[in-house]
Structure 1
Amino acid sequence: MKTDSAIQRDVLAELAWEPSVTHEHIGVSVRDGVVTLSGLVPTYAEKLAAEKATRRVAGVKAIAEDIEVRRPGDSKTSDTEIAARICSIFAWDALIPAEKISVKVENGNVTLSGTVDWRYEVDAARKAAGRITGVVSVRDLLSIKQIPAVTDVKGLIEQAFKRNAVLDATAISVIADGGTVTLGGRVHAWREREIAERAAWAAPGVTAIHDHIVVG
């Protein structure tokens, strides 16, 4: 069993290793495998990157996120300016259907709403909004347009798992109810869980995923 001090040391090393994270301003504490991240980062995207890097560390059971998005001494960016920047970057990004997405900003908290055609458009919009200076969180209320589901969503996802060199397909269960997919089972690392979820989203007709995969 990995000790809390060993997990803390490895998380700090992983944050220092991750080039997209300004690790000098991030604090790490660990208790019973639960990692608490604190401190300051300049962007919401960097906050997500720090959390993702922490998940890669073996022994991490859960993450408590107390990181604040701002540079030391920075003045607050106005909500109007944040909204304008998000709309501008959406308009220039070919992957984002800007005309289908509404943007609301309140105290730096961004809410995206509307209906898009594909899951990758949701992901692209969230990532783009998270990169804007002044954004402290991104709430995704985007829905995916209902398309006719193929007859065997479950089988397609299971085949995708079997093709993946990282996943143990026998350790993951799949339940499909129309366009809603529920994943279960147990994997060894957060990365495997993320890969499984991405593979499931790639199946035609999937509009929602409930990820109950346990890490550990």
Structure 2
Amino acid sequence: MKTDTQLRDDVEAELSWDPAFKASDIGVIVKDGVVTLTGHLSSHAEKYAAERAVQRVHGVKAVAVEMTVKLPFGNERTDADIAMAAERALEWNVLVPDGRIRPMVEKGWLTLQGEVEWGYQRSAAEGAVRDLMGVTGVSNLVKVKPKLSPADVEKKIHDALSRQADRDAVQGAAWATPGVSVVVNDLLVDA
């Protein structure tokens, strides 16, 4: 197990290695494996990249983000401008279903609300707006609600089982069925 000093050195090295932000703008404090990041960055994209860099470091137990986004002069945007850009970004992203996610902006902080069928759609929506100029933070409140009922899921698995004979194929069919979040494979194959 790393000491706090070793962990701080590793985090600082990872931050210095990543070109997506200026590591000199970030302060690092480590106590009992918990890393606290401080400082001011010039965009939410930089802040997000710094958070991801720290999470890559082995031994980090948790991250406390006390960094703020302070937009450089000339990069400020009105909330209306950000909302319009967010709406367009969502509209132009092929992974985001049309009209299902509503952006709201307050003092540069962008909140996404709505419902989608898949987790990847929720992630794609956040990714589409995270790096927009003027955004100081993102709250992704989009809910994932599959359209399938448990009976539909069961039928789809039974249909797949009737097409596929071996144990691995059966497990794969279960995982590939929309609406399945856990598969417990207790099947025994008689030879």
TM-score (norm 2): 0.74
Q: 2:62: which partner in 1?
A: 62
Whole-Å separation in 2 of the counterparts to 1:13 and 1:55: 13
Q: 1:205: which partner in 2?
A: 179
Q: 2:80: which partner in 1?
A: 80
Select between 116-125 and 38-47 the one with higher mean Cα deviation: 38-47
Q: 1:97: which partner in 2?
A: 97
8 Å contact 2:75–2:134 — kept in the other structure?
no
Whole-Å separation in 1 of the counterparts to 2:43 and 2:121: 21
Residue 103 of structure 1: how far off its partner (Å): 1.0
Q: 2:32: which partner in 1?
A: 32
8 Å contact 2:75–2:133 — kept in the other structure?
no
Q: Unpaired runs of 5+ in structure 1?
A: 153-158, 164-200, 208-216
Q: 1:43: which partner in 2?
A: 43
Count of residue pairs the alignment pairs up: 161
Change (3 A) 1:30 1:72: farther
Change (3 A) 1:70 1:98: farther
Residue 68 of structure 1: how far off its partner (Å): 1.1
Q: 2:143: which partner in 1?
A: 143
Partner amino acid for 2:149?
P
1:64-88 per-position Cα deviation (integer Å, ceiling 9, x unaligned): 1011123455564211111011111
Q: 1:184: which partner in 2?
A: none
1:12 correspondence with 2:16: no
1:81-105 per-position Cα deviation (integer Å, ceiling 9, x unaligned): 1101111112221111241111111
Q: Unpaired runs of 5+ in structure 2?
A: 158-167, 182-191
8 Å contact 2:71–2:134 — kept in the other structure?
no
Q: Is the radius of gyration larger for structure 1 or structure 2?
A: 2
Residue 42 of structure 1: how far off its partner (Å): 2.6
Residue 20 of structure 1: how far off its partner (Å): 2.5
Partner amino acid for 2:127?
K
How many percent identity over aligned positions?
42
Q: Secondary structure at the match of 1:99?
A: coil
Whole-Å separation in 2 of the counterparts to 1:74 and 1:9: 35
8 Å contact 1:45–1:127 — kept in the other structure?
no
Residue 22 of structure 1: how far off its partner (Å): 2.9
RMSD value, Cα: 2.5
8 Å contact 1:40–1:72 — kept in the other structure?
no
Q: Secondary structure at the match of 1:29?
A: strand
Whole-Å separation in 2 of the counterparts to 1:25 and 1:55: 18
